[in-house]
Structure 1
């Protein structure tokens, strides 16, 4: 059997690196514990430990692959999340690791919820739109009107010129990118054209 694989991309840093919703929706976020000064290792010690564990790591991966190959045709996911093929592949390997059926999908969904929350909390546009929807239930108007409304109501959020776009077209692009995570937390954003001049209208609703 021939396998075609792709290398995952690993990003490491202290702040939230996957702040753009399209990247966050395709990421698995792991928060590592802080290492105390007494527990830190030299690089040579780290590689020594890894090389000693490498045979067991490889064996575990091969067990998972063997299990997944045998089960992937029969595994049915209760939902198809983003990166559905990846989710199905790992779910097919659950038995190899003694995980209960559906355990990976539950963990994956929890990770995505955490990522969505971090995306919202770290984005001034998302925060302002969320507050507008939760306080009023619904809002409708042009993008220029939305910009003025958000800046008037939430100056403590929108005063940052770097994080909050000052031009309507830039705000529109930012909101379009945020539609998936906003929908996850119950805020629906839609765009429409109304009137003879086909003026673009944005509609925000709490669902």
Structure 2
């Protein structure tokens, strides 16, 4: 998800729908202008690209630099592109967290406390109880079926949790693994969206790079 752009598309109204063959016919007619415009902008962006210096590099750094250069050429401003890109990445991170049941349970656990410490087995038991209370679906594939699978599920969302200020550390101690979870303030919302985890078919288009 953090290598993707999420774009929400509106449903096409009945009075504006057209058949597929007409879509391709119109596209073929517009293609010379589209291609010519794209190449013109790209040629200007190529000249500007070496001068682009970002204070911090987000994920997909080269994509961000090209986006900055292209936005400058188009007149939107490179800084506006970076702001929009970071906002989209944050939205993507929220989507990833909201779709993962373990992430939801961890956020509920850490919503009212700065840290939690115990064994992985104790955490599994704790999360099972929270899942029951918050009506989180534990029958889906992403939910661990036993404590020994919990570490794997946590690793799937480690970077996503870090982005909202939740960090954890797992250390083997004798026959058990102990885990410490800490919540750190990073100016990012840690609101838990329980209602988002459902079986609806409404999804955004995800464009991977």
Quickly name the TM-score band, shorter chain normalised.
0.7 to 0.9
The partner residue of 1:179 within 158, 163, 169 is: 158
Residues in 2 aligned to 1:166 and 1:135: alpha-carbon distance in whole angstroms: 26
Structure 2 residues not aligned, in runs of 5+: 185-209
Q: Which residue of 2 aligns with 1:104?
A: 81
Change (3 A) 1:55 1:128: same
CA RMSD of aligned residues (A): 1.7
TM-score, length of structure 1 as denominator length: 0.81
Q: Which residue of 2 aligns with 1:188?
A: 167
Residues in 2 aligned to 1:29 and 1:144: alpha-carbon distance in whole angstroms: 36
SS in 1 for 2:18: coil
- Written as runs of structure 1 = structure 2, the 5 A alignment for 1:20-169 is 24-155=1-132, 156-157=135-136, 159-169=138-148
TM-score, length of structure 2 as denominator length: 0.80
Contact 2:69 2:78 in 1 (8 A): no
Structure 1 residue ranges (4+ consecutive) displaced by more than 3 angstroms after TM superposition = none
SS in 2 for 1:205: strand
The C-alpha deviation readout for 1:130-173, integer Å capped at 9, x for no partner, is 11111222111222111101111331215335341112232211
Residues in 2 aligned to 1:41 and 1:121: alpha-carbon distance in whole angstroms: 35
Query: Which has the higher mean CA deviation after the structures are superposed, 161-170 or 181-190?
Result: 161-170
Change (3 A) 1:141 1:158: farther
Residues in 2 aligned to 1:152 and 1:192: alpha-carbon distance in whole angstroms: 23
Higher strand residue share? 2
Shift of 1:198: 6.9
Change (3 A) 1:151 1:158: farther
